[in-house]
Structure 1
Amino acid sequence: MTSIYAKAGAFLLAILLVFGALYGAYHHGETLANTEWQAKWDAEVATQALAKAKAEEDARAEELRRINSNQQAQAHAIQSTAVAQTDAAAAAVSTGSVQLAAAKLAAGPSSCTGHSTAATGSPTTNHAAMVLSDLLTRADKRAADLASLADRSRIAGLACEASYDGLTANQK
């Protein structure tokens, strides 16, 4: 009877050894596969980290480019505004001399008199000259205001356009 138990024990031992070897081979294969996948995972994580750093660097460079472009547009607008104000001041000076001449003509005696013996102009003629002088002054003031408004609007529009072009330069 001992031989049956010994044979059964030996058979069970052989089966256990075979299953143990198969499990060991399976576990070794699983460990190799996990190690391989972990290496691939780590490589992908490193690649993505590099891509993220590059994207952040590119975004910062683009932000700086946009800021510089906007600052250049603002500086150009400020310079254009200063030039326009200088031109407006020069125009105001020349306009002032024209208005002064018109006021002197309006205040002086008129050559168009109602009577040939009268040395001074008639009140109607002097009044008309004063009205025309006042009209010239008002029209000139309004034209200067409108020119100033147009200059500011144009400068603001060009600055806005330059800022927009600077922001969208890489998108075209």
Structure 2
Amino acid sequence: MTWGKVLAYLAAALALLGLCAAALYAAYSHGVMVTNAARDAEWSQAVATQKTELAQAVQAARTEEQRLQREANQVGTDARKKNASADADGRGLDAAGDRLHVQAGKLAASAGACSSDTGAAERGASATRAALVLSQLLERADARAGDLAKAYDRARIAGQACERAYFLLENSESGQ
């Protein structure tokens, strides 16, 4: 064999080897590209799923927050209605107390009207003063009792409203 033929075979072998290397590199590049595309598709799908789940979780949290706010507002509305009712009851009791005070004043004024006996007149004046003192004492005690009853009603209603709001929050947290 001549050197020309050997070089031709060698050139052909190198060309074939180059072609094989190019084919292998092209196959490798294609595999990497397909793998990257599949990974990117999975990543995009995972991101889309997370976004959807996040949006659903945010919407559920907003809905729950709005429900709790409505219930808390209802607790406040109920407490205001109870306070208005207690105030109306208090006004009725105040009117009854006022009538009692008028009657006690009339009784105290008539306590001194006795016979014309001078001893009875002195006793009548003492009885009038005592009746007036008792009448004023009754009036002050009744006013104080009314104030305390109003304060108690307001405190009781506020405590019940607070308790209801607390249980609403406690039940919503334990339900999650």
The TM-score range, normalised by the shorter chain, is: 0.7 to 0.9
Quick one: which of 55, 70, 85 aligns to 1:68?
A: 70
Show the counterpart of 1:99: 101
Q: How has the CA–CA distance of structure 1 residues 120 and 104 changed in structure 2, closer, same or farther, with 3 Å as cutoff?
A: farther
Q: How does 1:1-172 map to 2 (within 5 A)?
A: 1-110=3-112, 118=120, 121-172=123-174
Tell me, which stretches of 5 or more residues in structure 2 are unaligned? none
Q: Secondary structure at the match of 1:168?
A: helix
d(CA) in 1 for partners of 2:105, 2:142: 14
Is 1:109–1:121's contact at 8 Å kept on the other side of the alignment? no
What amino acid does structure 1 have at the position aligned with 2:12? A
Greater fraction of residues in helix: 2
1:119 Cα deviation from its structure 2 partner: 5.1
1:125-150 Cα distance to aligned partner (Å, 9 max, x none)? 22222111111111111111111111
1:110 Cα deviation from its structure 2 partner: 4.7
The percentage of counterpart residues that share the same residue type is: 37
Tell me, which stretches of 5 or more residues in structure 1 are unaligned? none
Q: Please tell me the root mean square deviation across aligned C-alpha atoms, in Å.
A: 2.2
1:101 Cα deviation from its structure 2 partner: 1.5
1:120 Cα deviation from its structure 2 partner: 6.5
Which one is further off, 7-16 or 143-152?
7-16
Q: Secondary structure at the match of 1:15?
A: helix
Q: Normalising by structure 2, what TM-score? A: 0.86
Which one is further off, 94-103 or 77-86?
94-103
